[in-house]
């Protein structure tokens, strides 16, 4: 039951992009086409889940027992940065097609605050466990993907519309994101 709550809450109610404002940079940056949005989602899902797993274990078995919580931010960001590099190298060797699909997005992920944000939220959860943290990460990645894909679909259509000159580009995209976020607000109170 707990897990269902986590999933619904992460995807719809507290959507990571539209309600918690994490990962706004890729949300605005790579949302011009649906196909790139899907690729980005795949890369984020991949990195977010592995990063959350590793940071969770580090937090639980190194930082907490040795009273090193003040190193948390540094540890987490280093894990994520090196993880991204490693994933890039491994993918290149093991699965060239997958690398082809995700490769361009990987370097962008280091500074995607959604990854660091979810890792930090996961260790702060009440009675957390590794399984819970992983489900938490998967659900948030899906929420990120949902918002990104929906938004890029809207933007593709937006390109065909005539928009007032001053509102062209980023401003109208932001207002659209606002309307999307408003739609997601309808889910509030569900959990």
Partner 1 sequence: MAQQKESSLFNMLTTLVVITLISGFALAYVNQLTIKPIQQAQLSKKKDALVEVLPEFDNNPVDTRYAVFVKALGDSVEVYKAYQSGELVGTAVNAFSPDGYSGDVRIMVGFLPDGTIHAISVLEQTETPGLGTKMTEAEFIDQFADKNPKDFKMQVVKDGGQVDAITAATISSRAFCDALQMAYAVCVDSCDANTGATSTDEKTH
Partner 2 sequence: MNQLQNFTKGFLKENPVFVLLLGMCPVLGVTSSAINGLGMGLATTFVLVMSNTVVSLVKKQIPSKVRIPSFIVIIASFVTIVEMVMEGFLPELYNQLGLFIPLIVVNCLILGRAEAFASKNNFISSVIDGLGMGLGFTFALTLLGTVREMLGSGTIFNVSFVPENAQTFLLFVMPPGAFIALGFLIAFINRLKHKRA
Which residues contact partner 1 by CB under 8 A?
13-14, 70-71, 74, 188-189
Minimum distance of partner 1 from residue 116's CB (angstroms): 17
Please tell me whether residue 171 binds partner 2 under the rule CB under 8 A.
Answer: yes
> Where in 131-170 is the site for partner 2 (CB under 8 A)?
166-167, 170
Minimum distance of partner 1 from residue 78's CB (angstroms): 8
Residue 121: left (phi > 0), alpha (psi -120 to 50), or beta? alpha
Binding track, positions 25-64, relative to partner 2; x by CB under 8 A:
x--x------------------------------------
Please tell me whether residue 179 binds partner 2 under the rule CB under 8 A.
Answer: yes
Specify whether the CB–CB gap between 113 and 22 falls below 8 A.
Answer: yes
Minimum distance of partner 2 from residue 181's CB (angstroms): 4
Stretch that binds partner 2, among 50-58, 60-68, 96-104, 105-113 (CB under 8 A): 105-113
Specify whether the CB–CB gap between 63 and 75 falls below 8 A.
Answer: yes
Please tell me whether residue 89 binds partner 2 under the rule CB under 8 A.
Answer: no
- Binds 182, which of partner 1, partner 2, none (CB < 5 to 8 A, cut-off by type)? partner 2
Q: Which is nearer to partner 2, 4 or 174 (CB)?
A: 174
85 vs 71: CA distance, rounded Å: 21
Q: Which is nearer to partner 2, 116 or 139 (CB)?
A: 116
Specify whether the CB–CB gap between 173 and 148 falls below 8 A.
Answer: no
The residues that touch partner 2, with contacts defined as CB under 8 A, are 18-25, 28, 70-74, 77-78, 81-82, 110-113, 116-117, 120-121, 166-167, 170-175, 177-179, 181-182, 185
């Amino acid at each position: 039951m707990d897990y269902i709550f986590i999933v619904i809450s992460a995807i719809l109610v507290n959507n990571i992009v539209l309600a918690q404002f994490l990962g706004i940079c890729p949300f605005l940056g790579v949302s011009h086409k649906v196909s790139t949005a899907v690729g980005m989602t795949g890369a984020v899902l991949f990195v977010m889940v592995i990063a959350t797993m590793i940071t969770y274990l580090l937090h639980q078995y190194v930082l907490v027992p040795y009273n090193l919580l003040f190193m948390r931010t540094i540890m987490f960001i280093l894990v994520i940065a090196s993880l991204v590099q490693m994933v890039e190298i491994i993918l290149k060797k093991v699965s060239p097609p997958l690398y082809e699909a995700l490769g361009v997005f990987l370097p962008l992920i280091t500074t995607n605050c959604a990854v660091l944000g979810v890792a930090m939220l996961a260790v702060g959860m009440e009675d957390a466990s590794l399984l819970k943290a992983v489900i938490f990460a998967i659900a948030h990645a899906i929420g990120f993907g949902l918002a990104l894909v929906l938004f890029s679909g809207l933007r593709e259509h937006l390109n065909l519309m005539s928009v007032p000159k001053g509102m062209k580009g980023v401003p109208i995209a932001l207002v659209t994101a606002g309307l999307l976020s408003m739609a997601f607000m309808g889910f509030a109170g569900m959990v």
